[in-house]
Chains A and B, each alone.
Chain A
Amino acid sequence: MTAPGSLAARLGSTWFGSGLSIHARERLAALAELREVEPGAVLLREGADTERFGVLLRGLLALRVGVAGRGTATLMTVEPGDIFGWSAAVPPYRATSTVVALEASQVLLLESGALRDLLRDDEQLMLALYPRLLESVSRRLTATRTQLLDLYARDREYEPW
Chain B
Amino acid sequence: MVTAAGTAFLPRERLDALLDLLREGGRTVIGPTVRDGMPVLGEIATVADLPAGWRDEQSPGRYRLSDGHGDRVFDIVNGQMSWKQFTFPPRQKVGEMNRFAVDGSISFQPSAPDPPRLAFLGVRACELAALGIHDRVLAGGTFVDEDYRARRDAALVVAVQCTRSASGCFCTSMGTGPEVRTGHDLVLTELDDGFVVDAGSPAGERLLARLPGRLATPGEEAAASAAVAATRAAIGDPVATDGLRDRLMDQLDSPRWGQVADRCLACTNCTMVCPTCFCTSTSISSDLGGAVNVTERGWDSCFNPGFARVAGGNFRPKREDRYRQWLTHKFATWIDQFGTSGCVGCGRCVTWCPVGIDVREELAAIAPPALPAERPFIRPAAATPGRFEITTLRASHPETPDTATLTLVPTEPVLLAGLPGQFVMVDMPGFPAFPISVSRYAHDHLLLTVRGAGPATAALLNTPVGGQVGLRGPLGTGWPIDRALGRDVVIVAGGIGLAPLRPVVDALLADRGRFGKILLAYGARTPADRLFTGELTAWTDRGVEVLQIVDRSGPGWAGRVGVVTNLLDHRDFASRPTVAFVCGPERMMQATTSVLRDAGVSRERLFVSLERHMQCGIGLCGHCQMGPFFVCRDGPVFTLTELGALFTREGV
Contact = CB atoms under 8 A, between A and B. Distances in A.
Q: Do chains A and B touch in the complex (CB under 8 A)?
A: yes
A62 B550 CA distance: 13
B530 to A, nearest CB: 10
Interface residues of B, number: 37
Contact of A77 (B494, B524, B525, B566): B566
Interface string A55-97: 0000010100000000001111101111000000000000000
Interface in A129-161: 139, 142-143, 146-147, 149-155, 158, 161
B553 A155 contact: no
Interface string B523-545: 11100010000000000000000
A109 to B, nearest CB: 19
B318 interface: no
A147 B563 contact: yes
B570 A76 contact: no
Contacts of A102: 558-559
B563 A143 contact: yes
Interface residues of A, number: 28
A75 B529 CA distance: 17
B551 A152 contact: yes
A146 B594 CA distance: 14
A81 B313 contact: no
A74 B312 contact: no
A155 B453 contact: yes
A80 B313 CA distance: 37
Contacts of B567: 79
B591 interface: yes
B562 A76 contact: yes
A15 B570 contact: yes
Contacts of A149: 587
Interface in B434-458: 451, 453-455
Contact of B569 (A139, A150, A154): A139
Given A79-B570, A161-B455, A150 B525 contact: yes
A143 B566 contact: yes
B537 to A, nearest CB: 17
Given A15-B570, A150-B551, A155 B563 contact: no
A15 B553 CA distance: 26
Nearest to A15: B570
A147 B566 CA distance: 11
B59 to A, nearest CB: 40
Given A77-B566, A150-B551, A158 B311 contact: yes
Nearest to A16: B570
A82 B587 contact: no
B588 interface: yes
B610 interface: no
Contact of B565 (A14, A143, A152, A153): A143
B495 interface: yes
Contacts of A74: 553, 557, 561
A32 B454 CA distance: 56
Contacts of B151: none
B561 A81 contact: no
A109 B177 CA distance: 79
Nearest to B564: A146
Contacts of B559: 77, 102
B20 interface: no
B362 interface: no
B562 A151 contact: no
Max chain A Cβ within 10 angstroms of own Cβ: one of B523, B524, B549, B563: B563
B613 to A, nearest CB: 13
B585 interface: yes
Given A76-B562, A152-B525, A146 B585 contact: no
Interface in B485-537: 494-496, 523-525, 529
B649 to A, nearest CB: 17
A62 B584 CA distance: 25
B23 interface: no
A146 B494 contact: no
A157 B60 CA distance: 39
Nearest to A18: B572
Contacts of A143: 562-563, 565-566
B560 interface: yes
Contacts of A154: 402, 451, 453
B494 A152 contact: yes
A151 B561 contact: no
B115 to A, nearest CB: 37
Given A152-B495, A158-B454, A146 B561 contact: no
Contacts of B311: 155, 158
Interface in A24-75: 60, 62, 73-75
B598 to A, nearest CB: 11
Contacts of A151: 494-495, 525, 551, 584-585, 587-588
Nearest to B587: A151
A152 B403 CA distance: 12
Contact of B591 (A14, A62, A146): A146
B566 A152 contact: no
Nearest to B496: A152
Contact of B570 (A60, A62, A81): A81
Contacts of B524: 152
B402 A147 contact: no
Contacts of B585: 151-152
Interface string B87-120: 0000000000000000000000000000000000
Contacts of B496: 152
A73 B552 CA distance: 9
A150 B561 CA distance: 13
A146 B587 contact: yes
Interface string B368-402: 00000000000000000000000000000000001
Interface of A: 14-15, 60, 62, 73-77, 79-82, 102, 139, 142-143, 146-147, 149-155, 158, 161
Which 9 residue pairs spanning A and B have beta carbons closest together? Answer: A81-B570, A152-B495, A15-B570, A76-B562, A152-B525, A77-B560, A151-B585, A74-B553, A74-B561
11 contacts: A14-B570, A15-B570, A77-B566, A143-B562, A147-B551, A150-B525, A152-B523, A152-B529, A152-B551, A155-B311, A161-B455
Given A80-B570, A139-B569, A153-B525, 17 more contacts: A15-B569, A73-B553, A74-B557, A75-B553, A77-B561, A77-B566, A79-B566, A143-B566, A149-B587, A151-B494, A151-B551, A152-B495, A152-B496, A152-B529, A152-B551, A155-B312, A158-B453
